[in-house]
Amino acid sequence: VEPSPQIQDFDDLRACSDNPNIAVFDLTQNSNLIISNQENVTLTYHQSLASAENGTNAIAFPVNYNGIDGEFIYIRLEGENACITAFNSAEDNRFQ
């Protein structure tokens, strides 16, 4: 049995913006930290835990994401044998 991939610790993403309540983020800047040395995994970012768990509606352009103040982003890390780890960032406050 293939173990589920593990999401490693990563840094918070924070930004200041001239546009009230919206800032542009590069969600991928922590990708190497999240994946660490794990091989054959796919990392996607989602706006809801349900879509992260189901592997649907991944954020299309995580390099240039317009985040809304107080929004949480969910991470899906999928191994080559379809083992997944969905990370609920709302519980851990890693993306704010």
Query: Which position has the higher pLDDT, 39 or 56?
Result: 56
Residue 92: predicted pLDDT? 39
Spatial separation of the C-alpha atoms in residues 93 and 77, rounded to whole Å: 18
Beta bridge partners of 86: 76
Cα angle: 90, vertex 45, 67; to 5 degrees = 65
List the domain boundaries for the chain. Answer: 33-92
Name the β-bridge partners of 84.
Answer: 78
Give tens-digit pLDDT for 16-35. 777 778 888 888 888 888 88
Spell 60-84 as b/e; 16+ CB within 10 A means b. eebeebebeeebbbbbbbbbeeeeb
